[in-house]
Chains A and B, each alone.
Chain A
Amino acid sequence: MKPARTFKARIRQFGLAGTLFLTVLGARLYELQVVKGSEYLEKAHRNTVVVEARPAARGRILDCRGEILVSNAPQFELVVTPSELRDRKEVIKELSRLLDETEPELEKKIRAAAPHAPLVLQRDLTQDTLARGTEIAEYRKGVGVRAGAIRRFKYGKMASHLFGYVGEINAEELRTRRDLGYAMGDGIGKVGLEKQYDTLLRGRKGADQIHIDVLGRTVSQTELRPSTPGPDLYLHLDAQLQQVAEKALGETLVELWKQNGERSGGTVVVMEVKTGAVKALASLPQYDPVPFARGIKYKEYQALLDDPGFPLVNRMIHSAFSPGSTFKLVTATAALQGGLCTTASYFVCGGSFGPANCFVRSGHGGISFEDSMAHSCDVVYYKLGFEMGIAHLRKWCALYGLGSPTGIDLPAETGGLLPSPEWKLREWEDRWYDGDTINMSIGQGFLLVSPLQMAVVTAAVANGGYVVRPTLAMKAVAKNGAVLLEPEPARTQLPAKPEFLASVRRGMRGAVLHGTAVATNLPQVQVAGKTGTVENSPSIHNKHGRNHVWFVSFAPYDDPEVTVVVFLEKSHGYGGGLAAPIARQVYEKLYPQGWEKERKEAKPHA
């Protein structure tokens, strides 16, 4: 078909419009370059005064005694300035050999970086790498070696989940934090306390004003503002106690590994019951923070991800498990408050309740309310749970803080799972059965809690009904002595009658004296506790369906100070046999022989 007249007319219109568009561009160029040209020329020369940030020393982390746990050490790092590189291919080849990274990887890193700023390729160079790197820097323009700081960890892996690590800021983090003074190439806390208190620990960068001449040479450099180092962060953590807890837990885990042929994990938390101050928080296995501090290599990171013990997971706050019989603390409180029984009630356990069996299959026979706690009689709690119903039980779970994060000063804490009939309908497309309530009343079934949440529950029972917020940070003190941070203990009151909680405590004391937790029956301090054993079905992460075990406890019984909660994942065995002995070692450290006498001497006027 031949072009029509309209067609040609419209091409002419297009030509006219195009001329107009190009003319507008030309006119704007004339305006910028001729009319305002000299103005912009001046502005272009002003551009050569650049303000460069001067890094601040990162704040240290100390324990409650003032022992330095995380500090800074000098180190050398290899940097390249992409725009200054000549013979790029050759340089990359040399660096690839030196740093044990593939050429495409290095090429990619350099290509992605800002062209005129030094890019750190590797921190914390070894002697050999440093020597060779300095050599290369001599004859390769754009390659350099410079001094910097790296995090140093006094006790190596100890509490690595808790401290976390610092890494280079990524684009996503930068986008939301540009206003806070973060810039490309900055270090930023990625997990743990380093992340939680990053804005504090990083201090304040100083600034240098640098004049650059037309050829790009530095003419002068003046300090505009000195940097302010980050403050010292003191923790409630007791490094000695943390070591004892990690050692006891670690030894048990090694034992279990041999016995089960499978890696498992565990946690120990020690917390003051009245304030929520966390004195030890161990989650094993943990990882070595050093590779993270110097910039972890892909291979190393992949190895950590593939580790069957999941060392990157802080089981204390990132994971949630069935609480098992330790949940009876909650069921018991709910039952007493709901008037379903009294502290003097007497039950008969025949070994089962409907289709649900007791922990002791043969039955406990006649048993008092408090002894049901001591001997972990499931039938009593099946009955109580069935009678109170899910709504009442849920209410008391929520009051104890289950289902929501405890609010500890660590990032990415889980709230666990507090199930409800609505939740079950949504997730399982099935209604809530009485059997679900009965299961839940002994801590089996849908309910999931983190070990830290159980510590808060135990603390509330021990301190007479206050749900505390676990806290690691005691205070942050600037170099000039100013206290920048001092978190107040936070707690909410449980609407529970004191005598009911006292009854639960008596039951827990009974477990230690003549029940399931005799392993913690120490002569020098009265411990009260509750064991838990979670039955599991085989799953992807637990192929043999081994039991998890728990031990929640507090001491001293008559004036509770601390709670110790131990959890072992897929350990097999029972809480009383595996978890309680770990708590015992912690108590022996906390309350050595003659501790009462020592305290009286230390505080004669108290």
Chain B
Amino acid sequence: MRRLRFLDLKLYLPLAGILTLLWLALYSATQFGQAGEAIRQFGYIAVGSVVMLFLSGLDYRVFRKAVVPLYLVTLGVLGAVLVMGESVNGSQRWLSLGSLGTFQPSELAKLTSVIVVAVILSEKLTWRRAAAAAAALGPLFLAILVQPDLGTSLVLVAIGVVMAYVAGVNGTLLFSVLGLGASALPLVLKEYQRDRLMVFVNPEIDPSGMAYSLVQSQTAIGSGGLLGKGLMKGHMTQHGFVPENWTDFIFTVVGEELGLVGGVGLLVMFAMLLFFILHTGYHAVDRLGGLLCVGVATLLLFQVFVNMGMTIGLAPVVGIPLPFGSYGGSAILVYMAGVGIVGSVRIESRIPEDPLSDSVHPSMEGPSLGILSSSGKG
């Protein structure tokens, strides 16, 4: 892979920091009871790193060809999980892979969505292409919604909306459609999902039931103070007062044991990672590269905000994992693959143009349809 000579380490450094911090948190949360999990997670990170470097070395434009099989495979595994998936906490999200553990197709669907939308919208924006992108996301969205996994299906919505916006779809129009969709939400929510929303609005109504996790996680984080209680010394973490703190509530461990310094440190590292991803998108040589970066950034930002927000009382419990943190092989692989694709885009913009070639990238600027872009007139 000759391209890897142009690899930009800046992109991967914040990621390494995030992975280290969150792995320590996982180790701390599982040192008793599920001690094997941290070791297994280490294995996933190692595999993820290989996948990430491989994708960085690969020219991302192969996705123009690979997108159709990728999409069909994703739909296939989503269908399979509905038919024979393992049920965790009442919804079917996992496929068993025997001794390799389990595989969560909805994680793959997130990355597939980014790639599909990027490929479709990478050409000149037309009504037809915008509709095609929506139509491609629809089946993925529905298959995840009926699992039921509201959280992940909302991630797909966020990906679709943000990517469409950056691609040039009229903002007013886009957000009106989004608003209409949101107003239909109460009709499709399951009872327990509605309960969770209610509890989010008023945690006092059920302090020992569903709101328990929320109250406990806020208490744990709050009690961490400025500097935290020290790694492996979190009182609430170590004695099991925060349920499931090795999965969706991993941030409580950071908050309690490493305090504000650790929490904000994590935020800063995420901010740096997101900055480099968007920077890559900004300077990408083509729309495909730019949109891929925007999609990956949306995926990360949305999940960071909703997951952390959940633990500190800013968002309802919808079961969205913290990228690179929440335990699970398929999740970590997917996010690292996402960063790998961004790496490929970044390399492409760093390869000096061949002076002998006169085939300059076509510079057809901007969407030509005025109705599609509010700022197109400017």
Q: Which A residues have a C-beta under 8 Å from some C-beta of B?
A: 1-12, 14-15, 18-19, 21-22, 24-26, 28-30, 32-34, 36-41, 43-45, 47-48, 82-86, 88-89, 115-116, 171, 178, 212, 214, 216
Interfacial chain B residues near A22, Cβ < 8 Å: 267, 270-271, 274, 301, 304-305
Cα A19 to Cα B270 in complex, Å, equals 10
Residue among A14, A47, A86 facing the most chain B CB atoms (10 A cut-off): A14
Residue B287 contacts which of A2, A48, A83, A178 (CB distance < 8 angstroms)? A2
Indicate if the CB atoms of A2 and B33 lie closer than 8 Å: no
Indicate if the CB atoms of A44 and B167 lie closer than 8 Å: no
Residue count of chain B within 8 Å CB distance of chain A: 70
* With contact pairs A33-B221, A85-B33, A116-B240 given, residues A1 and B312 touching in the complex (Cβ less than 8 Å): no
Indicate if the CB atoms of B267 and A37 lie closer than 8 Å: no
Which of B10-18, B55-63, B276-284 forms part of the interface with chain A? Answer: B276-284
Indicate if the CB atoms of B284 and A3 lie closer than 8 Å: yes
Cα A423 to Cα B222 in complex, Å, equals 64
Q: Does B224 contact A (CB under 8 A)?
A: yes
Indicate if the CB atoms of B286 and A26 lie closer than 8 Å: no
- Which parts of B311-328 form the interface with A (CB within 8 Å)? 312-314
Identify the closest chain A residue to B275 (Cβ): A15
Which of B42-50, B133-141, B197-205, B257-265 forms part of the interface with chain A? Answer: B257-265
Indicate if the CB atoms of B209 and A33 lie closer than 8 Å: no
Count A/B pairs, Cβ under 8 Å. Answer: 173
- Which parts of B283-316 form the interface with A (CB within 8 Å)? 284-287, 290, 294, 297-298, 301, 304-305, 308-309, 312-314
Cα A33 to Cα B240 in complex, Å, equals 20
Cα A523 to Cα B175 in complex, Å, equals 91
Interfacial chain A residues near B376, Cβ < 8 Å: 6
Q: How far is the CB of B173 from the nearest CB of chain A, in Å? A: 14
Residue among B222, B235, B275, B312 facing the most chain A CB atoms (10 A cut-off): B222
Indicate if the CB atoms of B294 and A11 lie closer than 8 Å: yes
Indicate if the CB atoms of A33 and B314 lie closer than 8 Å: no
Binary interface encoding of chain B residues 85-96 relative to chain A, with 1 for a CB under 8 A from any of its CBs, else 0 = 000001000000
Q: How far is the CB of B299 from the nearest CB of chain A, in Å? A: 12
Q: How far is the CB of A312 from the nearest CB of chain B, in Å? A: 25
Interfacial chain A residues near B236, Cβ < 8 Å: 44, 47
Identify the closest chain A residue to B226 (Cβ): A34
* With contact pairs A2-B365, A37-B225, A37-B226 given, residues A44 and B219 touching in the complex (Cβ less than 8 Å): yes
Interfacial chain A residues near B290, Cβ < 8 Å: 3, 7, 11
Indicate if the CB atoms of B220 and A44 lie closer than 8 Å: yes
9 nearest CB pairs, A to B: A40-B222, A44-B223, A4-B366, A83-B33, A116-B240, A37-B225, A41-B223, A32-B222, A33-B260
Interfacial chain B residues near A4, Cβ < 8 Å: 168, 287, 365-367
Q: Does B241 contact A (CB under 8 A)?
A: yes
Residue A2 contacts which of B162, B285, B313 (CB distance < 8 angstroms)? B285
Q: How far is the CB of B343 from the nearest CB of chain A, in Å? A: 18
Residue B278 contacts which of A15, A30, A41, A89 (CB distance < 8 angstroms)? A15
Interfacial chain B residues near A41, Cβ < 8 Å: 222-223, 225
List 26 contacting pairs A-B, 8 Å CB cutoff, sorted by A: A1-B364, A3-B286, A6-B168, A7-B166, A8-B282, A10-B168, A11-B282, A11-B290, A11-B294, A22-B267, A22-B301, A25-B309, A26-B267, A28-B313, A29-B255, A29-B264, A30-B260, A32-B221, A37-B224, A38-B225, A41-B223, A83-B33, A86-B35, A116-B239, A116-B240, A212-B239
Interfacial chain A residues near B359, Cβ < 8 Å: none
Cα A127 to Cα B294 in complex, Å, equals 66
A2-B362, A14-B278 known; 15 other A-B pairs, CB under 8 Å? Answer: A3-B287, A4-B365, A5-B366, A6-B366, A10-B165, A10-B375, A11-B294, A14-B162, A22-B270, A26-B263, A29-B221, A40-B221, A41-B225, A44-B220, A84-B33
* With contact pairs A26-B264, A34-B260, A82-B33 given, residues A39 and B222 touching in the complex (Cβ less than 8 Å): yes
Q: How far is the CB of A93 from the nearest CB of chain B, in Å? A: 14
Identify the closest chain A residue to B191 (Cβ): A175
Q: How far is the CB of B107 from the nearest CB of chain A, in Å? A: 20
Cα A269 to Cα B329 in complex, Å, equals 59
Binary interface encoding of chain B residues 210-227 relative to chain A, with 1 for a CB under 8 A from any of its CBs, else 0 = 000000101111111110
Q: Which B residues have a C-beta under 8 Å from some C-beta of A?
A: 32-36, 90, 122-124, 162, 165-168, 209, 216, 218-226, 235-236, 238-241, 255, 259-260, 263-264, 267, 270-271, 274-275, 278, 281-282, 284-287, 290, 294, 297-298, 301, 304-305, 308-309, 312-314, 361-367, 373, 375-376
Cα A214 to Cα B256 in complex, Å, equals 14
Indicate if the CB atoms of A2 and B363 lie closer than 8 Å: yes
Interfacial chain B residues near A6, Cβ < 8 Å: 168, 366-367, 373, 375-376
Interfacial chain A residues near B255, Cβ < 8 Å: 29, 32-33
Cα A24 to Cα B263 in complex, Å, equals 13
Interfacial chain A residues near B216, Cβ < 8 Å: 47
Q: How far is the CB of A484 from the nearest CB of chain B, in Å? A: 28
* With contact pairs A2-B286, A29-B264 given, residues A43 and B33 touching in the complex (Cβ less than 8 Å): no
Interfacial chain A residues near B90, Cβ < 8 Å: 171
Interfacial chain B residues near A178, Cβ < 8 Å: 209
Interfacial chain A residues near B267, Cβ < 8 Å: 22, 25-26, 29
Identify the closest chain B residue to A214 (Cβ): B235
Indicate if the CB atoms of A7 and B278 lie closer than 8 Å: no
Residue among A8, A15, A214 facing the most chain B CB atoms (10 A cut-off): A15
Identify the closest chain A residue to B300 (Cβ): A18
* With contact pairs A2-B364, A82-B33 given, residues A24 and B314 touching in the complex (Cβ less than 8 Å): yes
Cα A12 to Cα B375 in complex, Å, equals 13
Interfacial chain A residues near B305, Cβ < 8 Å: 21-22, 25
* With contact pairs A2-B361, A28-B314, A29-B260 given, residues A43 and B375 touching in the complex (Cβ less than 8 Å): no
Q: How far is the CB of A328 from the nearest CB of chain B, in Å? A: 50
* With contact pairs A22-B271, A24-B314, A47-B219 given, residues A1 and B235 touching in the complex (Cβ less than 8 Å): no
* With contact pairs A84-B33, A216-B238 given, residues A32 and B218 touching in the complex (Cβ less than 8 Å): yes
Interfacial chain B residues near A40, Cβ < 8 Å: 218-219, 221-223
Identify the closest chain A residue to B32 (Cβ): A83
Interfacial chain B residues near A3, Cβ < 8 Å: 282, 284, 286-287, 290
Identify the closest chain B residue to A116 (Cβ): B240
Q: How far is the CB of B372 from the nearest CB of chain A, in Å? A: 10
Indicate if the CB atoms of B362 and A84 lie closer than 8 Å: no
Indicate if the CB atoms of A7 and B287 lie closer than 8 Å: yes
